[in-house]
Structure 1
Amino acid sequence: MKYSYQEARRLGLLASRQAKWRRKDPYLPSFEQRFGNAKRKEVPVGLMEVPVSMIEGTFSNARRESFAPNFLPLLDESTEFGSKWSRLLAVQEEEGFTEPIIVYEFNHRFYVAEGNKRTSVMKYQKVPVIPAEVVRILPNRGEMAERHLYEEFLEFFKVAPIYDFDFSHLGDYRTLARLLGKDLYHKWSVDEVRLLRSEYRLFKEQYLEHVSDGNDITCSDAFLEYMTTYGPAALEFLKVSKMKRQMKRTVRRIKYRRK
């Protein structure tokens, strides 16, 4: 595929128009816009691989009107913004970005403080993860509808620092740990974390490509159901064709239980 600023901007303008038709905000969300400037505790997390799909927007209001809701550019190619974006695209294609972006994590979603254009390029190229220096903002009491689920995620993250999992139900992180013969009290080894992350990303790649269309079942929920049914060993040395068939059966089981 030939990547270009013109194509990225076309997709951005389309997303912005579609948002207007739905009477939604036509610009990129910002943390300040959504949550204001109330005082909250901040906790440095460090350098992490952040799923690009979990990056919700920019941190401040200053940059948000340069981007559509899908983080693609809106400004004309002739602007300084357009020139810088195009140069970053060339860098990413030739050698890849080496400097991490800086993000704030709030309720398991990310808002970019530095590196908005790099994030935009990665969104455009559908790159799954991006290196980021992460600072966690802890919600004040009463700011979250799913507070207990987020607290369980934090327990999981403390022993297995993986951002990718985003379960829908309280207890799911504990269930995942139990299926792997682990718990949320003792730190997992580096190799265990690396293996789980790589297996999940393989599963997610296949799920998004072959199974996810037409259903509202998240990849994390499907992965947990898959692991419950087939066991952790099912992902080792598994042929992609067999995995796809098993994924489809997994989705059918979840849909059946919802009836």
Structure 2
Amino acid sequence: MDITYQEYSRALKLGRKLYRASLLRGESPYLPVLEQLLQNTAIVSQESLGTVEIPLEQVIGTRYSSRHQAFTHGFMPIMNENTEFSHKWINLCKAHLESGIRDPIIAYEFLNQFYVLEGHKRVSVLKYFGAASIRCTVTRLIPEPDDTEESRIYQEFLRFYRLTQVNSVWFSAPGGFDALLAAVGTSMDAPWSEQERTQFRFFYSAFQRCYQEEGGGKLSLTAGDALLVYLNIYDYASSKDKPESVLRTELSRIWDEICNKDSNADIRLILKPSEHKTIFPLFSAKHLRIAFVHEQTAASSSWTYAHELGRKDMEAAFDGQVETICLDHADTQEAAEKAIDAAITDGSDLIFTTSPRLLNASVRAALENPKAKILNCSLNTPHPSVRTYYARMYEAKFLMGVIAGCLTPDNKIGYLADYPIYGITANINAFALGAKMVNPYAQVLLEWSKTTEQNGQDRLKHSGISYISDQDMITPDHPSSRRVGLYHSDNDGILHNTALSIWRWGKLYETIVRNYLRGGWKADTSGTDAINYWWGMDTGVIDLICSRSLPEETTRLVQLLRQAICSGTFQPFSGLFRTQDGTDLDYRDSSITPEQIITMDWLLDNITGSLPSFDALLPEAQALVHIQGIKKS
């Protein structure tokens, strides 16, 4: 028997198997028909895409019902052998095996799926042989947009396609196409060159194959969803030319991260240090070696300086039981990975990476070294492979707002923020709430220090505002500067510090290490949840220092509110308040969640100013916002 006849027999057997399976599930066994799908859909326009390469897996049906009963789902034939249909299929099979099928089919695209008008058997033959794509003359049917998630995803896809001409990627939720453009390093107004399109198609095609081989078909995530997880760990620039074997290895390595995404495993916020006592704690005399990896140095960065003080305080608290090493200048991906690898090689029991910019390097190191215990100083991160830690600074900012609201002579208060990352917006709003609680007329003028217009501090000064909330840490190169915390300017222009919110990193590190020594590391683990430590004033990891010159009444009020926050009887984000766009938020009877506080992307109505756009930020801020921003570009 001719081999092509054997191929038709196999295809027919597969088609009949699919046919029976569909009937058992109570589904139609035939091809979906676009004509029927459009009966209750308003098409607002048609667009000719010309002849393009389309993914065969997205060719799912037929334009009209006249052809749909010749095939089952997946375009497998169900017509008997020795029919005119089977002979034509066999001839096409011969053509494919001898020289390839070259004539393009004609199809309609609807919601990035394709319905064949002409060329059904060509699609059937190529699908049977596992081809990836087919040439097609395409007419796009664009439905009227609505508020459904499906419609929003498709509208994003249309914008993405006009820039890239790539139709093989799809996402299960809105935001995916914008996230992909950001990960690839392009914006929503920069068309791709032919080289960029070709390069991405080859890369994505290889990634897609690896994803399916690893078991992607068993997950609810699309290959595009999985790609975003991958690109959040391995950047596109260094990955686009990787051999398929390397992609396969890396995808296997991060598979738990992908499964975590698929199962919507939670970011588990631990709001207080664990009180679990395990039956078999670590031997109390165990000598620990702990590494601290810094992006900069204590001499060049106030952030690193504060963490270095914390490292030394923590080491002193354990009286020789803990030995620490410090690795500086991890200011590039390569340098960060090298520093973390050095810490692992050195036998560190715990590794603290002290900047959100070190998150990706931390995750990669943890995935490559599953026994390593790595903690990154960041917030709201979804990676189960590392743990993160941060402090609820908004509690101290609320109290600073109370002080400013009491003392401002003209109801105007300035606030200088750096960049809109997780937690920062909560700090701003908490400050404004505190001011409004004691002074209903208080207005907060918001400026930003990490934008292309860097003179925010000067704009506040020229506005005649006497009380300003500025950075929280002393800058090493200006140790005598008074532009920290809440300060005010007297009639002679002399600055006076009024209050300072402080990070007690030593207390935080000491608490984590003690928890580890008594065996609490495993106790905090919950399935595949990503563990985020987010502690507040009640744990002593943040605090507020007030000037002795504060009026006694103000000092007493701040002390009372501080005690209430620490005891849990008062929550700054409670009550009824209004946002800048006029939305009323009612948290009088129900509590705002920690997740809502972390991800705030709105400002209160007594704040003048706005959240800066991504393009308005300085490059150093853009890099951080890309990782931890409340509005990622």
Distance apart, 1:243 and its partner CA: 2.0
Distance apart, 1:39 and its partner CA: 6.3
Residue matched to 2:83: 79
Identity among equivalent pairs (%) = 31
Q: Secondary structure at the match of 2:180?
A: helix
Question: Are 1:72 and 1:120, in contact at CA under 8 Å, matched by a contact in 2?
Answer: yes
Q: 2:108 aligns with which of 93, 104, 113?
A: 104
Deviates more, 1:125-134 or 1:249-258: 249-258
Distance apart, 1:241 and its partner CA: 3.8
Q: 1:224 aligns with which of 225, 228, 235?
A: 228
Code of the residue aligned with 2:35 in structure 1: it is: E
Code of the residue aligned with 1:155 in structure 2: it is: R
Distance apart, 1:227 and its partner CA: 1.3
Q: 1:215 aligns with which of 219, 237, 250?
A: 219
Q: Matches of residues 236-255 of structure 1 in structure 2 within 5 Å?
A: 236-255=240-259
The number of aligned residues is 258
Residue matched to 1:12: 15
**Larger RCO (alpha carbons 8 Å, 6+ apart):** 1
Question: Are 1:222 and 1:251, in contact at CA under 8 Å, matched by a contact in 2?
Answer: no
Residue matched to 1:169: 173
Question: Are 2:72 and 2:78, in contact at CA under 8 Å, matched by a contact in 1?
Answer: yes
Distance apart, 1:239 and its partner CA: 4.3
Residue matched to 2:25: 22
User: Residues 38 and 236 (structure 1 numbering): CA distance in 2 closer, same or farther, change over 3 Å?
Assistant: closer
Query: Do structure 1's residue 52 and structure 2's residue 81 form an aligned pair?
Result: no
Q: Secondary structure at the match of 1:36?
A: helix
CA RMSD between the two structures: 1.9
Distance apart, 1:181 and its partner CA: 1.8
Query: Do structure 1's residue 31 and structure 2's residue 5 form an aligned pair?
Result: no
Distance apart, 1:179 and its partner CA: 1.7
Code of the residue aligned with 1:27 in structure 2: it is: Y
Deviates more, 1:56-65 or 1:25-34: 25-34
User: Residues 144 and 47 (structure 1 numbering): CA distance in 2 closer, same or farther, change over 3 Å?
Assistant: farther
User: Per-residue displacement from partner, 1:160-183 (whole Å, max 9, x unpaired)?
Assistant: 001101012212111111122211
Question: Are 2:149 and 2:173, in contact at CA under 8 Å, matched by a contact in 1?
Answer: no
Q: Secondary structure at the match of 1:230?
A: coil
Question: Are 1:105 and 1:135, in contact at CA under 8 Å, matched by a contact in 2?
Answer: yes
Question: Are 1:152 and 1:170, in contact at CA under 8 Å, matched by a contact in 2?
Answer: yes
User: Residues 143 and 35 (structure 1 numbering): CA distance in 2 closer, same or farther, change over 3 Å?
Assistant: farther
Deviates more, 1:38-47 or 1:218-227: 38-47
User: Per-residue displacement from partner, 1:102-155 (whole Å, max 9, x unpaired)?
Assistant: 110001110001100100111111101001011000113459651111111000
Q: Secondary structure at the match of 2:190?
A: coil
Q: Matches of residues 181-200 of structure 1 in structure 2 within 5 Å?
A: 181-200=185-204
TM-score of the two chains, using structure 2 as the length reference: 0.39
Q: Secondary structure at the match of 1:229?
A: coil
Q: Secondary structure at the match of 1:184?
A: coil
Distance apart, 1:37 and its partner CA: 8.1
* In structure 2, C-alpha distance between the alignment counterparts of 1:106 and 1:144, rounded to whole Å: 16
Question: Are 2:207 and 2:244, in contact at CA under 8 Å, matched by a contact in 1?
Answer: no
* In structure 1, C-alpha distance between the alignment counterparts of 2:145 and 2:181, rounded to whole Å: 27
Deviates more, 1:42-51 or 1:235-244: 235-244
User: Per-residue displacement from partner, 1:218-244 (whole Å, max 9, x unpaired)?
Assistant: 211111211121001342453444322
Code of the residue aligned with 1:101 in structure 2: it is: I
Code of the residue aligned with 1:26 in structure 2: it is: P
Residue matched to 2:144: 140
Code of the residue aligned with 1:88 in structure 2: it is: L
Question: Are 1:222 and 1:250, in contact at CA under 8 Å, matched by a contact in 2?
Answer: no
Distance apart, 1:38 and its partner CA: 6.2
Structure 2 residue runs of 5 or longer lacking an equivalent are 266-633
User: Residues 217 and 142 (structure 1 numbering): CA distance in 2 closer, same or farther, change over 3 Å?
Assistant: closer
After TM superposition, the runs of 4+ consecutive aligned structure 1 residues lying more than 4 A away are: 141-145
Of Structure 1 and Structure 2, the greater helix share is in 1
* In structure 2, C-alpha distance between the alignment counterparts of 1:63 and 1:191, rounded to whole Å: 38
Residue matched to 2:129: 125
Question: Are 1:158 and 1:187, in contact at CA under 8 Å, matched by a contact in 2?
Answer: yes
Higher Rg of the two aligned structures: 2
Distance apart, 1:16 and its partner CA: 0.5
TM-score of the two chains, using structure 1 as the length reference: 0.93
